[in-house]
Each structure stands twice: as structure tokens, then as C-alpha cells.
Chain A
Amino acid sequence: MTSMEVVYCILGMFVVSYIPRVVPPFLLAKTTLSPIVERWLKYVPTSVFGALVFSEIFIDGNKLNFSLGNINLITSLIVLAVSLKTKSLGKSIVTGMVVFWLLKNVV
């Protein structure tokens, strides 16, 4: 790809990334949300996090890894316990990094 083509490509990527981001507030912000949309939106966060977290933990390249040798899985169970107990994002993240590093390099 020539330098000019890279720039065109980036501009194209900008347009298709910006539109999905910018359109919702222009459709939703001026009206009051209907109760059913509001109720639906209440379940979006837990659904997004569930989908993201499960994907990060179990998807390994093109396959699913459910084995106990999956470092992501073991670390995440510990992070989950810490987060539920302490309610602290900082403690959860630090625990995650330490445990992940130990499992990867020491165990």
C-alpha cells in the first residue's frame, strides 16, 4: 500500500468508526427514553461485560480453552473473588497482574 492509500484507508476507517459512535446520542438525547428502552439499556452493561470477559478468558486463537491449564481462567477466578470481597478495582487489577505473572513465569 502506498502512503496515499494508507491515508485514504484511515479516512475510510474514520468514517465507519465515527458514525456508529456519534449517531445514538443524536437519536436519543433530545427525546425522553421510553421505559422499555431504559429497561433494556439497564441490562446492556452486565451483558457486555459478560461477553467481553468470557471471550478474553476462554477464546484462545481460534479455539475455546476450558482446561485448568488456562492461566486466564485461574487468574480470573481469583480476581473475581478479590473484587467481590474488596469492591476495589485497584486491588483486583494488582492481584490479577501478580497472579498472572506468577502462573506464567514461576509455576
Chain B
Amino acid sequence: MLRNLYSREVLKAVLPICVGYIPLGFACGVLAQKVGVSVWETGMMSVLVFAGSGQFIALSMIGGGASISSIVLTTFIVNLRHTLYSSTLTSYLMGQSKKYFSFFTQGIVDETFAVNLSEFSTGEWDANRALALNILAHGCWVLSTMLGNVVGNVLTVDIAVVGYTLTAMFIGLWTFHFENNLKIIIGLVSGALALFLSSFLTHKLHIVVATIIAATLGCMIEGGKKDD
């Protein structure tokens, strides 16, 4: 397994994630320091929770004096979308051990899901590489947040520009799924739905609901075509 951490394919695949994570993690660490969360607590949160937006939201809530129960509940809702990612990736990992899944799933976030999925669909990818990618991305996140916490006030980074890396990565990976018109249309429908839902669903729930509705629609349309 450890050999895979250094394989060229894995390093190449994890690179765009790390380019985005270093400034974002840094910003997250700065926020942690501002709300009085220590470097070790920041590291512990990044190891155990590993959720970009989830951590930003939790830290602002800590800063705002929210109760533990409200922070935990919010985190649950914000991270519910990982269930969809985990279910989708499982279909490429059938037959792996319980131990494998208990480690692998901890590394599932928007970015690792996106990259693993596209690598799996191109073929040259396996369970060990997927795990190695998760571990490297996770490690990169943990170190960046801790670093941000320590040296946060010394350096400033243009987060908007480097943060756009992840958006560009999502666009690129999205286009790799444009195999037929139905998939393109379903993606666009999901995007429009997400915007519509965002006006009354908070905490990233709009992503979850839009995905469920759009995927169901795609599944029904494909099923309908087959019956013709």
C-alpha cells in the first residue's frame, strides 16, 4: 500500500487537490486561531472530521458561541452528501475488506470523490491507489490547516484565485462525464435545481437534494427509453 503513495499516477492525480488545499487549509487554520482553537485541536479536527466547508462552518460557530449540539448537528447536515459519494465509489470497490472501507471512507470529500471517480472510469486505477490518493489529500489538508494556525498572521494568500483551482477541477472532471446528451442535460438540470434550492436550503443540503432529484430523473428517462 505504502508503495502506492509514491507512485507517479497517484501523485499526478492528487496534485490539483493539494494545490487547492494548501491555501484553503491555510485559511481554515487562520480562522481556527482567530476563534481560539489551538494548533493541536485544529490538527485533531482535520484528521477526524476532514471536511473543508464543514470545518469552516463549525469554526465560525465556535467563534459565535454556538452550543456543541448545534455545531454537531450542523456538521452532520453539511457532510451528509458524503453518503452519496461513498455509495458511488463502493460500486468500484466491491469485495474490499471491512478494514479497507473503514480507512478509505474517512478520506471521502468532494475532491477525492471527484478525482477517484474519474480515475476509476478511465480504467488505470485500483483500490490501493484510491486509498493512497485519499491519504495524501487528507495529509495535505491536515498539515495546511495546522500550518495556517501557526503562521496565520504572518502571511497573506489570495484565497480567491487559488481557491478557484478546485472549481476549475470540478468543471474539468464534470466534462469527463459528458458521454451522452442525457448526462449533460441531467448535470445542467441538477445545477439549476441546486441554485433554485439554495434559496431555502442551507448547509449544502441543496447539493444533496438536487443530486438525488436529478439522478432519479436520469434513471427514469433511461429506463423509459429502454421500454420503448
Contacts and interface: CB of A to CB of B under 8 A. Distances in A.
Contacts of A76: 167-168, 171
Contacts of A67: none
A39 B206 CA distance: 22
Interface residues of A, number: 70
A84 B207 CA distance: 24
Contacts of B71: 9, 12-13
A83 B172 contact: yes
Nearest to A84: B175
Interface of A: 1, 3, 5-18, 20-26, 28-29, 32-33, 36, 38-59, 64, 72, 75-76, 79-80, 83-84, 87-90, 92-93, 95-97, 100-101, 104
B184 to A, nearest CB: 7
Contacts of A96: 164-165, 167-168, 171
Q: How large is the interface on B (under 10, 10 to 19, 20 to 34, 35 or more residues)?
A: 35 or more
Question: Sorted from nearest, which 7 A-B pairs have the closest CB atoms?
Answer: A96-B168, A54-B191, A43-B218, A50-B187, A49-B174, A16-B76, A50-B190
Contacts of B114: 48-49
Contact of A49 (B94, B105, B168, B173): B173
A70 B101 CA distance: 41
B161 A100 contact: yes
B222 interface: yes
B16 A93 contact: yes
B153 interface: no
Interface in B162-196: 162, 164-178, 183-184, 186-195
A95 B69 CA distance: 43
A55 B223 contact: no
B79 A17 contact: yes
Given A13-B75, A46-B190, A25 B68 contact: no
A43 B169 contact: no
Given A44-B87, A48-B114, A56-B167, 9 more contacts: A8-B68, A20-B82, A33-B91, A40-B215, A46-B218, A48-B211, A49-B187, A53-B171, A100-B161
